[in-house]
Amino acid sequence: MNRIKELRSKKKISTQELANATGIARSTLGSYETRGINPNAEKAQILADYFNVSVGYLLGNTDMPKDIIENYNYKQEINSFIKDLDESNYKNWDLIEKSIYLQCIQAISLLSVEERKFINEYLWALLEKRSSESN
């Protein structure tokens, strides 16, 4: 299902109601929903603002809506991850590494410089700890 149609259906509004609310012609909205045509940058932003999601989410480039991204507490998640690693004593490192690798790659582009620095410091500390435990 097309993301625009999906968002409209969740809001339980018709194409005409969306057209009235956004100023985008009903026929244009219909072409986005049925023919898979992507809106131009201006219309994509209007629709993203209306649905309160990112343009990337609206266009299907990410599965993380804007509100999840803005409210996600990376530092808390990282601390929880580190605690889990400490408790596991790295016995299952290969499984942990594989399971989080893709999540890290996806999330890294959303991080601020401060958050990237925080992650970098933790990872180096983990590597040093792991190295010292294996010696």
Question: What tens digit of pLDDT does each residue of 20-66 get?
Answer: 999 999 999 999 998 888 899 899 999 988 998 888 888 887 776 66
* pTM: predicted TM-score of the whole model, two decimal places: 0.51
* Ramachandran sector of residue 112 (left: φ over 0; alpha: ψ -120 to 50; beta: rest): beta
Residue 39 CA to residue 17 CA, distance in Å, equals: 18
Residue 79 CA to residue 63 CA, distance in Å, equals: 24
Residue 54 CA to residue 44 CA, distance in Å, equals: 9
Amino acid making up residue 61: N
Identify the band that residue 111 occupies on the pLDDT scale cut at 50, 70 and 90: confident
